[in-house]
Amino acid sequence: MSDTTDTGRYLRLTVDLVVEVMDVGALQAAALAEIRDPETELEQDERQEQIDLVNTDDTGAAALQWLIEPDHVLGLVEHLSDIEPREAMLGVEPSDGVLEDEGDEDDHHDHDGHQH
């Protein structure tokens, strides 16, 4: 009998999302509250490093990365019983405000041909 890991297939799910930051200060304040929360498991020097990073990033990217919880991302697939998330990585970086079309137009269609 074959082990399912021998026949399993891996798929990489790539999602690009552009958000407009309406208030960088409020975003930073929310991230700083999260970083300073005693429940956040950080050593004091690491905590201060993250505080400095959020305070010096005027784009809000560092703050937003702190506020996105891994469970939010996994929520994209948690309703599917035939898959098991294996690994995830999240990156937040400044953008010019539009999604870049790096690939073929067919890359942006689902299996029924609907554009997303």
**Residue 57 domain-assigned (yes or no):** yes
Whose structure tokens read 């890991």? 5
**Residue 77 domain-assigned (yes or no):** yes
pLDDT in the model for residue 103: 56
pLDDT under 50: residue ranges of the chain:
1-2, 104-109, 111-116
For the segment 84-106, what is each residue's pLDDT rounded down to a tens digit?
888 888 888 888 888 876 554 44
**Residue 72 domain-assigned (yes or no):** yes
**Residue 115 domain-assigned (yes or no):** no
Distance CA 101, CA 37 (A): 39
Tell me, yes or no, if the pTM score tops 0.85.
Answer: no
pLDDT in the model for residue 8: 66
**Residue 108 domain-assigned (yes or no):** no
Judged on CB neighbours under 10 Å (0-12, 13-18, 19+), 42 is: middle
Q: How many domains does the chain have?
A: 1
Domain that holds residue 82: 23-88
**Residue 94 domain-assigned (yes or no):** no
**Residue 52 domain-assigned (yes or no):** yes
